[in-house]
Amino acid sequence: MKRKNLLVCACAIVLASGVSAQDTASFVPNGKVSAKIFSNYSTQFTSEDVNSVGFILERAYFGYAYNISKELSAEVKLDVGSPNDVSTGTLKKRVAYVRNAYGTYKLDASTKLSFGLVDIMTCKLQEDFWGYRYVYKTFQDEHKLGQKTDLGIILKHSVSEQLDFDIAVTNGEGYGSVQTDLDFLYGFGATIKPTSEFLIRVYGDYSSLSNTPINLNSLLSITPNDKISWNAEYVYSFNNKNLENHDLSGFSLYTTYKIDEQVSVFARFDKLWSNVLSDEFDPWNESKDGNAVIGGFEYIPTKNLRVSLNYAGWIYDNSSYETKNRIGIYTEIKF
């Protein structure tokens, strides 16, 4: 009997020692280097002319994330863009930006605060559900409907498994510019997930600039199983770029079907339009308004490489403009 009691006591001591050791185990700081490279071989053409053919390095991201403690982490990311990102009339060359440089502090298990040059939740979920950023930007990113990255703070809080929200206060200048005025951009978003197959995202931001530009967007995503997803976005930009009564709006519809773990097909349709100003006959953005048609195949030979054969066309609302076409093989390498 005594031997049995001693055995029970010994087991209790061992278990207590293990729990104590786990409780007192010190956190080990750790970091990770990352990179993402977008490149392609493509042809751009209209019905009459071939405008360009060749290899293109579209974009390269290089980053480092470091977990300083259980609560505090930091990340920095460089963005080396295409020469086409440089304004017209300047020498064509690649320009590197600090795309991200921020710290994140976890207030508790459901709340975290990021500060610095941060990603705003303007179109983060849209980019995730679209899934082919290396082929084509999201609707909002392509048409510059709001800032994607900015200098400021963002608070993210998970109320439950069905509801998340985020609040941001930033300069409103984006990652490529410095603060040039006394105005700020205020953003609020909410993500509702009533079921695992259904998601709704709403977001809005406004600036206190002279004409109070306001950007509103929404996302509806339906994923009935792990093979197919259906997604719809709608965007409205009031006083776009702080121009009075110059509104832009549009929508994006896209779907993906996964044939197997390595092969998938995707299709997308976008429409962009603008309003007609008083005393005018044509929309103010008439030279750019139109429709995008995108589709292709993707092959993933390894987890670090994605390859896509795809087509993208821009059909202007004004039929006097020729449709712009692009076909090519696009790749994403990441680690």
DSSP state of 304: T
pLDDT of residue 177: 65
Pairing of strands 214-222, 198-207: antiparallel
Q: Is the pLDDT of residue 183 over 80?
A: yes
Residue 316: closest CA among 329, 303, 325, 305: 325
Q: Which domains does the chain have, with CATH numbers?
A: 110-326 (2.40.160.10)
Q: What percent of the chain has pLDDT over 90?
A: 81
Q: What percent of the chain has pLDDT over 70?
A: 87
pLDDT of residue 96: 85
Q: By mean pLDDT, which of 179-183, 238-242, 308-312 is the weakest? A: 179-183
CB of 189 within 8 A of CB of 206?
no
Q: By mean pLDDT, which of 95-99, 111-115, 222-226 is the weakest? A: 95-99
Alpha carbon of 130 to those of 60, 145, 208, 295, 304: distances in Å? Answer: 19, 17, 31, 12, 18
Pairing of strands 111-119, 96-108: antiparallel
Distance (Å, rounded) from C-alpha 284 to C-alpha 273? 9
Q: For residue 149, what are the β-bridge partners?
A: 119
Question: What integer is the mean pLDDT of 9-31?
Answer: 57
83-109 per-position pLDDT tens digit = 666 544 555 667 888 999 999 999 999
Distance (Å, rounded) from C-alpha 187 to C-alpha 180? 19
Q: By mean pLDDT, which of 10-19, 203-212, 246-255, 314-323 is the weakest? A: 10-19
Question: What integer is the mean pLDDT of 9-24?
Answer: 43
pLDDT of residue 144: 93
- Spatial neighbors of 126 by CB under 8 A, at least 6 apart, are 138, 139, 140, 201, 217, 219, 231, 233, 252
CB of 120 within 8 A of CB of 126?
no
Reading the block at residue 332, the tokens are 């994403």
Please spell the DSSP secondary structure of 218-285, one letter per residue. Answer: EEEEE-SSSSEEEEEEEEEEETGGG-TT--EEEEEEEEEEESSSSEEEEEEEEEEEEPBPTT-SSBTT
Place of tokens 């019905």: 47
Alpha-carbon Rg for the chain, nearest whole angstrom, is: 24
Mean pLDDT of the chain: 90
42-83 per-position pLDDT tens digit = 999 998 899 999 999 999 999 999 999 999 999 999 999 876
CB of 192 within 8 A of CB of 184?
no
What is the model's pTM?
0.87
